[in-house]
Amino acid sequence: MQLQVKTILNAIQHFPGFVFQDIRLQRHRDGRPRRIEIALDPHGGIPAKCSRCLQPAPGYDRLPQRSWLFVPLWNIQTFFVFAARRVQCATHGVVVEHVPWSDGKRPVSLAMMCFLSRWARRLSWRETARAFQTSWECVYRSVEWFVQWGLAHRKLEGVHAIGVDEIHWGKSKRADNFLTVIYQIDSHCRRLL
The closest residue (CB) to Zn ion is 50
**d(C-alpha 125, C-alpha 134), whole Å:** 10
Of the chain, the end-to-end C-alpha distance in Å amounts to 46
Residue with smaller CB distance to Zn ion, 55 or 77: 55
Minimum Å gap between C-beta 32 and Zn ion is 45
Residue with smaller CB distance to Zn ion, 49 or 145: 49
Minimum Å gap between C-beta 47 and Zn ion is 12
Minimum Å gap between C-beta 52 and Zn ion is 4
Residue with smaller CB distance to Zn ion, 8 or 54: 54
Residue with smaller CB distance to Zn ion, 17 or 33: 17
**d(C-alpha 146, C-alpha 85), whole Å:** 26
**d(C-alpha 109, C-alpha 102), whole Å:** 5
Minimum Å gap between C-beta 123 and Zn ion is 40
Residue 174 buriedness (CB in 10 A; 0-12 / 13-18 / 19+): exposed
Q: Which residues bind Zn ion (CB under 5 A)?
A: 50, 52-53, 89, 91-92
**SS3 (DSSP) at 63:** coil
Contact 125/143 with Cβ under 8 angstroms? yes
